[in-house]
A = this chain, B = another copy of it.
Amino acid sequence: MTHAACDHDHHHDHALDSNGIEARLAEAQALCLAAGERMTAPRLRTLELVLAHNGPIKAYDLIDRFHPEGAAKPPTVYRSLSFLEQMGLIHRIESLNAFVACHDHTESHSAAFLLCECCGKSEEVALNLSSITQKALESDFKVERVTIEAKGRCKACR
């Protein structure tokens, strides 16, 4: 995590342990099965890497880590990422060009994030989107999905 705009440590975090990851991968497989989609090896591997990482991870970091012996080809990872995103298993953080596992499977295709510019962590928050849907209604605009990205500093980095 090389976001150091400050000098304190950034270890106020806790990634999933391997059991946690296994559990999430199993859920994901079940979800795909239920949806009639295939959870293939590269997709699973990509999701595993996203889950194992603490916070948003870049596509090229995934590419580098994909094989124990060497890097994957970009399309392998990008295709997996877009599949996972469509399945609601991960989110793309536009302002970071990075990806993060989805926490909250309720609000499909819409998400809000608090992004710490200091430690690089992200927190996914559920929002009621009433004010934006209201505005959209006034404009006669059909919203398909909303991305909200709030940048600032998290509690530990204040």
Contact = CB atoms under 8 A, between A and B. Distances in A.
Interface of A: 94-95, 112, 114, 116-117, 123, 125-128, 130-132, 135-136, 139-155, 158
Given A114-B136, A132-B125, A132-B127, A153 B148 contact: no
B117 A144 contact: yes
A115 to B, nearest CB: 9
A95 B96 CA distance: 10
Contacts of A148: 132, 146-149
Contact of A140 (B136, B141, B154): B154
A158 B128 CA distance: 25
Given A127-B132, A142-B158, A147-B149, 9 more contacts: A94-B147, A117-B144, A123-B139, A127-B131, A141-B150, A141-B155, A143-B150, A143-B152, A146-B151
B150 A146 contact: yes
Nearest to A94: B94
Contacts of A141: 114, 116, 123, 150, 152-155
